[in-house]
Amino acid sequence: MKTPRILIIYTGGTIGMKEDPDTLALVPFDFSQISQEVPQIRKFGYEIEADSFDAPIDSSDAGPKLWIKIASHIEKRYNEFDGFVVLHGTDTMAYSASALSFMLDNLEKPVIFTGSQLPIGMLRTDGAENLISSIEIAASRGLDGSPMVPEVCVYFQNQLFRANRTTKYNAENFHAFSSANYPPLAEVGIHIDFNTRLINYPSQRGWPLGVNTSLDTSVISVKLVPGMSESGFASICATPGIKAIVIESFGTGNVPSDEWFVKPLREAAARGVLLVNVSQCAAGKVDMDAYANGRVMKDLGAVSGYDATFESVITKLYCLLGTHKDLNMVKRLMNMNLKGEISKK
Ligand code: ASP
């Protein structure tokens, strides 16, 4: 088999920082010199290149502009490499990685997002292991020579997750990500154990990579809290120009049944705004038939978020609204499992 070629794309975040010896402040280091910072990666014997985006950013500043930049960069260099490792701040990594999973079609190569809680230039960093294992996963191939994980993923602390199933759930622990509704695609110990039954493999090979860069962010989300401002809710629902309202509901998709809540949503739906019901619970799924308070959303015509993460619902909406003018089509596709984001056929 030929030597794997891996491209590292550094977008920003803690992983790419090191202490400036004079000021002790954290500053981004030159990623083209990655093998000086993490010399172990030379031992793989792979051909590894690193591209760094100008002005690396804190991922709190990330959004569609960055996602398009990452997707376009992968598209540009797709034929030159066997796998891609995207280094990204952890704060919004689950959004960016989810977005990429919807933006890339016919993907046949691994795109592994990773980052770290401590800068790579620090002694106790988790960044070196996250980077090294991500590279190895991106380069892993089956007996037939095809990639083990031709999906967009997040790798963190010995676990490889499907990107659109992940959430950052811990701000301090090295175990920063979880995938409550879908098991890891691989677990890393002495060996890398790939759960091949859980990985999506392309049904047809050889199709050109499709990159969808038209995203429409006319989406508003509201996290329900008991006793929330009724007038505030009404004015959010009346926001001009919005195409979808995502309600972060309680439990299995339950919402208040009072008129102050129902009326603004009924009016929004009458204007053609798509309503989506996502649970605030990290695990489990929306079932709008379980309680009368869930039926409220169903009667309003809301789409179920099923067991999707909030991050995947938002980014899926951006992608679908960007490509389809017809909101009925967007609604139909929201109900479908497109990239393994929901446990539904
Ligand atoms: N604030 C940083 C970011 O998301 C945190 C990190 O990289 O872990 O860019």
Pick the atom of ligand 1 nearest to 14's CA: 7
Question: Residue 71 is encoded by which pair of tokens?
Answer: 């997707």
pLDDT digits 0-9 by tens, 171-201: 999 999 999 999 999 999 999 999 999 999 9
**Residue 302: CA atoms inside 13 Å, Cβ hemisphere, count?**
31
- Which of 53, 58, 87, 122 should be mutated for ligand 1, with most atoms under 8 A from CB? 58
Task: Answer whether 89 contacts ligand 1 (Cβ < 6 A).
Answer: yes
Protein residue closest via CA to atom 3 of ligand 1 = 89
Task: Answer whether 11 contacts ligand 1 (Cβ < 6 A).
Answer: no
Residue 237 has pLDDT above 70, yes or no: yes
Q: What is the mean pLDDT of residues 155-165?
A: 98
Average pLDDT over the chain reads 95
Residue 235 has pLDDT above 90, yes or no: yes
Q: What is the mean pLDDT of residues 251-262?
A: 98
Residue 25 has pLDDT above 90, yes or no: no
Q: What is the mean pLDDT of residues 299-319?
A: 98
Q: What is the mean pLDDT of residues 112-123?
A: 92
Quote the pLDDT of residue 32.
Answer: 72
Task: Answer whether 114 contacts ligand 1 (Cβ < 6 A).
Answer: no
Q: What is the mean pLDDT of residues 316-330?
A: 97
pLDDT-derived band at 345, boundaries 50, 70, 90: low
CA-to-CA separations, 311 to 12, 37, 74, 162, 316, in angstroms, rounded? 20, 32, 22, 13, 8
DSSP character string of 101-124? HHHEES--S-EEEE--SS-TTSTT
Task: Answer whether 159 contacts ligand 1 (Cβ < 6 A).
Answer: no
pLDDT-derived band at 35, boundaries 50, 70, 90: confident
With a pLDDT cut of 70, the percent of the chain lying above it is 100
Say which residues have a Cβ less than 8 Å from residue 153's Cβ, sequence separation at least 6: 97, 110, 111, 112, 113, 137, 160, 161, 162, 163, 185
Told to judge if 23 belongs to the known catalytic residues of this protein, a careful annotator would answer no
Q: What is the mean pLDDT of residues 259-272?
A: 98
Question: Residue 345 is encoded by which pair of tokens?
Answer: 């056929």
Protein residue closest via CA to atom 8 of ligand 1 = 90
Q: What is the mean pLDDT of residues 32-43?
A: 84
Quote the pLDDT of residue 245.
Answer: 98
**Residue 112 or 25, more confident:** 112
pLDDT-derived band at 121, boundaries 50, 70, 90: confident
Q: What is the mean pLDDT of residues 283-295?
A: 96
Task: Answer whether 13 contacts ligand 1 (Cβ < 6 A).
Answer: yes
Quote the pLDDT of residue 127.
Answer: 94
Quote the pLDDT of residue 28.
Answer: 78
SS3 97: helix
The active-site residue out of 3, 11, 14, 166 is 14
Quote the pLDDT of residue 283.
Answer: 97
pLDDT-derived band at 54, boundaries 50, 70, 90: confident
Task: Answer whether 58 contacts ligand 1 (Cβ < 6 A).
Answer: yes
Quote the pLDDT of residue 34.
Answer: 78
Q: What is the mean pLDDT of residues 138-159?
A: 97
CA of residue 26 to ligand 1 center, whole Å: 12
Candidate from 118-127, 187-196, 207-216 with smallest mean pLDDT: 118-127
The torsion region of residue 55 among left (phi > 0), alpha (psi -120 to 50) and beta comes to left
Residue 299 has pLDDT above 70, yes or no: yes
Quote the pLDDT of residue 314.
Answer: 98
pLDDT digits 0-9 by tens, 71-108: 999 999 999 999 999 999 999 999 999 999 999 999 99
CA of residue 222 to ligand 1 center, whole Å: 24
Pick the atom of ligand 1 nearest to 116's CA: 8
Q: Which residues pair with 177 in a beta bridge?
A: 168
pTM above 0.85, yes or no: yes
Pick the atom of ligand 1 nearest to 58's CA: 9
Quote the pLDDT of residue 27.
Answer: 77
